[in-house]
Amino acid sequence: MSYTLAEIAEALGADAAGDTSLTIARAAEPQSAGPDDLALATNPKYAEALGTGRARAAMLWPDADWQALGLEGAILPTRPRFAMSGLTRLLDPGQGFGTGIHPSAIVDPSATLGEGVSVGPLAIISAGARIGAGSVIGPHCFVGADVTMGENAFMREQASIGARVTIGRNCIIQPGARIGGDGFSFVTAEPSTVEAARKSLGDQGDAQAQPWIRINSLGSVSIGDDVEIGMSATIDCGTIRDTKIGNNTKLDNLVHIGHNVEVGDNCLLCGQVGIAGSVRIGTNVVLGGQVGVSDNISIGDGVIAGGGTKILSSVPAGRSILGYPATQMDKQIETYKALRRLPRLMRDLAEVRKAVFKSGKDD
């Protein structure tokens, strides 16, 4: 798999310069690039390392002076960060999963596979499942009963999907992702200690401990188009209706989505984010790594939460938040600064008190 500089530029819709017939085998960082590599030096700082590598061609920035950098050819994209998307798609060597249905795979006769679907070794497709054309079901994958999956899905090794889950087109499911477990929903015969503590915000008083009885999930999970689910991420079924993930939303590794949650379109949920049950998340929301969201609240459109933020109450649209508990980002940073001065503040106050009250308290 190799391309000329001209072919790459055309695929990216970018300008090419110099000897555009140069053949590129792969992408590389400037300092380790060989003569067949396209060095990625998308800003002047990265470009400094071109001298220590042996690249003849590089992807640079719009008005870069490629000749002064000692190159024979260059790609000059308008927004280099965005060009990375097309470039890496073009050069991706893939996982080598092969085509067709591996003889060791177990495909129920009642399952429907679209044209060109491939099913890897030791994968299982259960009764009533429907897999859209062009989809790849990787090795050791499990697709449960009556699952519906759109076209061109790519499901990596050892991922699993429970019964009645629906997934749109072009979805990517990373290794070991878990879709469609039962929701974590339990109830006690009489009001529980948790119900008491939520009411009082204090200790639980006389509430008696009781056994937890399961509420089963009758709903399943509905996932839109162009969604990505990370490694070991977990998405629970809804209690009555489906848990929902909108179009073009991306879930990183180890993200947890509780039962009944609705995540809107075009969200990014970074590594280890946890969303408790029945939360509603709008569109274009970005939650940084390890963000947590309490149950039964809502996050408005366009909210951005910094890493580690714990969101304990609903957040209006458009807000940038940070901290535990979540606070507007700029105010939180002001608080962090104040906190660092807190021990000194205490000494200052003690000094003032001494001065004021020694000379006649309350006089």
Q: What is the 3-state secondary structure (H, E, C) of 297-362?
A: CEECCCCEECCCCEECCCECCCCEEECCCCEEHHHHHHHHHHHHCHHHHHHHHHHHHHHHHHCCCC
Binding of a copy of itself at residue 94 (CB under 8 A)?
Answer: yes
Q: How far is the CB of 299 from a copy of itself (least distance, A)?
A: 14
Q: How far is the CB of 135 from a copy of itself (least distance, A)?
A: 17
Residues 10-29 that bind a copy of itself (CB under 8 A): 26-29
Tell me which residue of 184, 182, 209, 183 sits closest to 194, measured CA to CA.
Answer: 209
Residues 45-64 that bind a copy of itself (CB under 8 A): none
- Residue 265, amino acid: D
Among 43, 52, 67, 88, which residue sits at the site for a copy of itself (rule: CB under 8 A)? Answer: 88
Q: In degrees, to the nearest 5, what angle opens at C-alpha 360 toward C-alphas 357 and 363?
A: 110
Among 15, 81, 99, 112, which residue sits at the site for a copy of itself (rule: CB under 8 A)? Answer: 81
Please identify, using beta-carbon distances, which residue of 152 and 266 lies nearer to a copy of itself: 266
The whole-angstrom distance between residue 245's C-alpha and the CA centroid of its chain comes to 12
Q: How far is the CB of 314 from a copy of itself (least distance, A)?
A: 14
Among 101, 271, 298, 314, which residue sits at the site for a copy of itself (rule: CB under 8 A)? Answer: 271
Residues 291-320 that bind a copy of itself (CB under 8 A): 292, 294, 301-302, 304, 306-308, 310, 312, 318-320
Where does residue 22 rank: exposed (0-12), middle (13-18), buried (19+ CB within 10 A)? buried
140 is catalytic: no
Residues 199-228 that bind a copy of itself (CB under 8 A): 200-204, 209-218, 226, 228
Please identify, using beta-carbon distances, which residue of 63 and 190 lies nearer to a copy of itself: 190
Binding of a copy of itself at residue 160 (CB under 8 A)?
Answer: yes
What is the C-alpha to C-alpha distance for residues 109 and 196, in angstroms, rounded to an integer?
A: 52
Binding of a copy of itself at residue 262 (CB under 8 A)?
Answer: no
Q: Is residue 17 helix, strand or coil?
A: strand
Span from 15-23, 45-53, 64-72, 350-358 in contact with a copy of itself (CB under 8 A): 350-358
- Two structure tokens written together for 317: 């649209």
Among 106, 112, 133, 296, which residue sits at the site for a copy of itself (rule: CB under 8 A)? Answer: 106
Span from 4-12, 47-55, 64-72, 187-195 in contact with a copy of itself (CB under 8 A): 187-195
Residues that contact a copy of itself, how many (by CB under 8 A): 146
- Two structure tokens written together for 332: 């939180």
Where does residue 223 rank: exposed (0-12), middle (13-18), buried (19+ CB within 10 A)? buried
Binding of a copy of itself at residue 42 (CB under 8 A)?
Answer: no
Report helix angle 329-340 to 342-358, nearest 10. 60
Binding of a copy of itself at residue 353 (CB under 8 A)?
Answer: yes
Residues 224-243 that bind a copy of itself (CB under 8 A): 226, 228, 230-232, 234, 236, 239-241
φ and ψ of 332, to 5 deg = -65, -40
- DSSP assignment of 108-129, as one string? -TT-EE-TT-EE-TT-EE-TT-
Among 2, 67, 85, 99, which residue sits at the site for a copy of itself (rule: CB under 8 A)? Answer: 85
What is the C-alpha to C-alpha distance for residues 175 and 229, in angstroms, rounded to an integer?
A: 9
Tell me which residue of 310, 309, 176 sits closest to 253, measured CA to CA.
Answer: 176
Binding of a copy of itself at residue 109 (CB under 8 A)?
Answer: no
Binding of a copy of itself at residue 144 (CB under 8 A)?
Answer: yes
Q: Catalytic residue positions?
A: 259
